[in-house]
Amino acid sequence: MNKLWGGRFEKEMAGEAEEFLNSLSFDARLWRQDIRGSIAHARMLGRQGIIDLDEAEEIVGGLEQIRDDIEKGTLEFDPGAEDIHSFIEACLVERIGEAGKKLHTSRSRNDQVATDLRLYLKDEIESLGNLLLGLIGALVQRARENKETIMPGYTHLQRAQPITFAHHLLAYCEMLRRDYARLRDCYKRTDVCPLGAGALAGTTFPIDRPYTARKLGFRDIADNTLDAVSDRDFVAEFIFAASLIMTHLSRFAEELILWSSSEFGFVALDDAYTTGSSIMPQKKNPDVPELVRGKTGRVYGHLTGILTVLKGLPLAYNKDLQEDKEAVFDTVDTVRGCLGILIPLVETLQANEERMRAAAGQDFTNATELADYLAWHDVSFRDAHRIAGQVVLYCISKGKRLEDLSLKEYNTFSPAFDSDVYEYISIEACVARRDLPGGPAPSAVAMEIAELNSWLEDIRSFPWSQPVPEEE
């Protein structure tokens, strides 16, 4: 395929250099955005009298035809093209001739590619945001069903205090809600139009940048042409937001793996989302959460990758920036895949209430309550803590639980203990009493669920971008 820039060269490019520099194999993914951007640019050229109106119409018609043909599968990408931008422009010229050669007036591939990538990422951020809401919704639903399901809460992976399964699931909802807010925030800075920045210094043609920005649904134009073509902060920000999503998903995945082991037995993954072993007939493996945990690595890798590409890069465009795309595409695919599979996995997750309740009743998870009991009976908390510790030590030596001691035994540690201590330290009471805002008690959890549900409803109808105006 002929180069867009062949005029100055005396000989053909070496095959291996061409292959090395080629980006069509991955940036073909931007074909819709590239055509969309070119249509807006061509309309602007016509409106501004930079090209004739009928030439602009011819270009738009040709581009629409190319779009339809790619959609139908009747036009295939020519692997000889340097990138998606060259490919579409060459197709246009091939189809409509002279007018097609005017499309690139007052434009460079540098502002073109930055525009395409922003258009692409805006759509993907929105769609990943909606998937996040889907996962939050699934977790909230499971929390609603498990408001009363008591489980042990952990610190240091040691049983610590009893909580509810709902409370644990809602903790993930809060992480994902912050992730969602980060996507919304990153969207704002992605939603800025670089088109018109040209190669680096704009153009002398009387272009109308706000018009093309509006046409493409951007909220604003980029304020500096040099920055417009070299800024990939939005890419780094997006991959960071995606990395933190993966951090949260990997923590959740890890807990699912632990909880579904025989050692815990708190949950069972549905057969539809597990795998067997090729040698051990009894195995049921949590491959899905394991792969979510594993895929976190590649997203972190992309974050390091893009930051390193940008580090020390002189203004403005450099070919290094071509490396942004695979990082973005793979990040989008990875996060989409992980969110997409976790939603049905959560929906079909079986909770084993008996196992959770039994575990919550072991290892003195109510010892804090015993200390609190004394603190309510005029013993300072420090002394109460020490006395409760001595009671625990005594129980360990006798192989008993706190509930099993007689009042007489209790009174050898402190006269403050009375017969109401048993009710006070019951696991159910420990949980129910923690009804502070954000706490694990069924009543507190119900409030958090109600709050999350109303947030979900509001945020779903909150628009992401400007509406694209009708023909001006």
By CB under 6 A, name the binding residues for ligand ARG.
23, 27, 83, 109-110, 113, 317, 319, 321-322
Closest distance to ligand ARG from the beta carbon of 7 (Å): 15
**Nearer Cβ to ligand ARG, position 197 or 449?**
197
Closest to ligand ARG by CB, 116 or 369:
116
Q: How far is the CB of 304 from ligand ARG (least distance, A)?
A: 20
Nearer to ligand ARG, 34 or 448 (CB): 34
Q: Of the listed 25, 277, 443, 454, which one is catalytic? A: 277
- Taking the C-alpha atoms of residue 287 and residue 299, their distance in angstroms, rounded to an integer, is 19
Q: How far is the CB of 113 from ligand ARG (least distance, A)?
A: 4
Closer of 16 and 470 to ligand ARG (Cβ): 16
Label residues 321-335 b or e (16+ Cβ within 10 Å = b).
Answer: bbbbbbbbbbbbebb
Q: Which is nearer to ligand ARG, 208 or 323 (CB)?
A: 323
- Considering the complex, what minimum distance in angstroms separates the CB of residue 322 from ligand ARG? 4
**Is position 461 annotated as part of the catalytic site?**
no
Minimal distance, residue 200 CB to ligand ARG, in Å: 10
* Burial bucket for residue 3 (CB in 10 Å: 0-12, 13-18, 19+): middle
Would residue 248 show up in a list of annotated catalytic residues for this protein? no
Question: Which of 113, 249 has the CB closer to ligand ARG?
Answer: 113
In angstroms, give the least distance from the CB of 22 to ligand ARG: 9
Name 155's bridge partners: 158
Q: Which residues are catalytic?
A: 156, 277
